[in-house]
Amino acid sequence: MARPRGGRALLLGWLVAIFALSALRDPALLAGLLVVAALVFVRGSLSVWRKVLIAVVPITLGLTLSSFLWLRLRDGRAPNFVPFLGLGLRATLIAFVSLSVLARLDLFRALAAWPTLTRLLVITLAQIHALRRIALESLLGLRSRLPRKPRTRDVVRGAGGITASLFTLGQRNARDLTDAMRSRGF
């Protein structure tokens, strides 16, 4: 478990690092840094790599292939591959560093210096958890009531109904939370 001050330093270091990394273009440098990052954050890296593959690869690959096709059709020759390689490596490196740092960070302890933000994130995450369960159960209920697989129209209607209930519930939750916070002296 990270100490608050150590966690805060890691958080700030990560913020500075990702902005700095987002300025780099040289594929050789980016590849080198990716190797260094992989060695530094080797513990638990399998699940991080899996998340990186899901979050980064489809979008960069899709953009690269469509750009290649477009530029080849327009210019009659394949474009320079180096900037595409740089983009892919940069996006991968930032995602890998971010996920590795966040996996090692006790975010709420690191954010302890900013109590308003911490309180806001705690409330938001708790509400997300509660509302997601309600939304999921409502959508499962919708599926169970239909004799066939729900179509787009069914899901849009179901989502509209769920949202209306969630709005009402959300506002009630906000009122209850306000009362609870007030009664605890906030």
Q: Does 51 bind another protein (CB under 8 A)?
A: yes
Window 55-94: residues binding another protein (CB under 8 A): 55-56, 59, 62-64, 66-67, 70-71, 79-80, 82-84, 86-87, 90-94
* The token pair that represents 22 in the structure block: 């987002």
Residue 21 neighbours by CB under 8 Å, 6+ apart: 33, 90, 93, 94, 97
Q: Does 12 bind another protein (CB under 8 A)?
A: no
Q: Does 18 bind another protein (CB under 8 A)?
A: yes
Q: Does 25 bind another protein (CB under 8 A)?
A: yes
Q: Does 113 bind another protein (CB under 8 A)?
A: no
CB of residue 25 to another protein, shortest distance in Å: 5
CA separation for the pair 152, 140 (Å, rounded): 15
- Do residues 56 and 95 make contact, with C-beta atoms less than 8 angstroms apart? yes
- Do residues 64 and 92 make contact, with C-beta atoms less than 8 angstroms apart? no
Q: Does 114 bind another protein (CB under 8 A)?
A: no
Q: Does 28 bind another protein (CB under 8 A)?
A: no
Helix (H) or strand (E) holding 3: none
Q: Does 144 bind another protein (CB under 8 A)?
A: no
Q: Does 32 bind another protein (CB under 8 A)?
A: no
Q: Does 19 bind another protein (CB under 8 A)?
A: yes
Nearest partner of 34 among 54, 14, 42, 50, judged by Cα: 42
Q: Does 174 bind another protein (CB under 8 A)?
A: yes
Task: For residue 26, give the 3-state DSSP assignment.
Answer: coil
* Sole binder of another protein in the list 12, 15, 61, 113 (CB under 8 A): 15
- Do residues 135 and 51 make contact, with C-beta atoms less than 8 angstroms apart? no
* Sole binder of another protein in the list 113, 125, 140, 146 (CB under 8 A): 125
CB of residue 69 to another protein, shortest distance in Å: 9
Nearest partner of 39 among 120, 114, 107, 96, judged by Cα: 96
